[in-house]
Structure 1
Amino acid sequence: MTVAHIILLKFKPSVSEEQAQDVLKKVADLKNKLTVVESVHLGVNFSARSKGFTHGFTMLFKDRAALETYDKSSEHVDAVTNHIRPNIEDILAFDYDVEEYSIPRL
């Protein structure tokens, strides 16, 4: 079953929009480096309800095993350790199995 991996980022006030975009480019590049990443969607928040989160991305994976492979990869660890964590105040991760119909089983 497809898995969605959603990350919301709250960058430090000292981080410029250009620096934030560089971080997102690093995330987007993970699709080119890791075959387990099926798709990456990036964006800048425009909602007043974001609770301070300014940027986000969604990645899709074939299944939970693929997400686990991604999570443990050296490329992902490098992106988090050297590019994301040094630039953010807060992060929110939300992973879920994508249901293939409009009314999910809960």
Structure 2
Amino acid sequence: MVLAHTILLKIKPSLSEDQAHDILKAVAALKDQLPGVVESVHLGANFSARSKGYTHAFTMIFKDRAALETYEKAPEHVKVVQEIIRPNIDDLLCVDYDIIDYSNPRM
């Protein structure tokens, strides 16, 4: 089953928007660094007033849980988290879920 891996970030206020964009670019690059593991990446800066301080977000789509597990253990992913994300955020929230498409009627 296809699944989504969604991360909400509270980027440190001391970072510029260009620096925050560089963090997201590093996340997006993981798709090309891990071919066949990450199906797609969707990311951007928050504009909702209801974000509870989360400033940026990304969602990665994986074909199954095995692909997500491969991604989580990949040295490329670990490096981005340890060297680029963690030093530049105040908080992070992760939600992983199986994608169920209710837009099509079920018979």
TM-score band (shorter)?
over 0.9
Structure 2: 5+ residue stretches without partners: none
CA displacement at 1:100 relative to structure 2: 3.2
CA displacement at 1:87 relative to structure 2: 0.1
Partner deviation per Cα, 1:69-96 (whole Å, 9 max, x = no partner): 0000000000000000000000000000
Determine the structure 2 residue equivalent to 1:56: 57
CA distance in 2, matches of 1:100, 1:92: 23
Give the percent of matched residue pairs that are identical in Structure 1 and Structure 2.
68
Determine the structure 2 residue equivalent to 1:43: 44
Q: TM-score, normalising length from structure 2?
A: 0.93
What letter is aligned with 1:91?
A: L
CA distance in 2, matches of 1:47, 1:54: 9
What letter is aligned with 2:32?
A: N
CA displacement at 1:102 relative to structure 2: 4.1
Determine the structure 1 residue equivalent to 2:78: 77
CA displacement at 1:101 relative to structure 2: 3.0
Cα RMSD between the aligned structures? 1.1
SS in 2 for 1:25: helix
Structure 1: 5+ residue stretches without partners: none
CA displacement at 1:11 relative to structure 2: 0.8
Q: TM-score, normalising length from structure 1?
A: 0.94
Partner deviation per Cα, 1:8-28 (whole Å, 9 max, x = no partner): 000111111111000000000
> Between Structure 1 and Structure 2, how many residues are aligned?
103
Determine the structure 2 residue equivalent to 1:7: 7
Determine the structure 1 residue equivalent to 2:28: 28
Determine the structure 1 residue equivalent to 2:91: 90
CA distance in 2, matches of 1:3, 1:73: 18
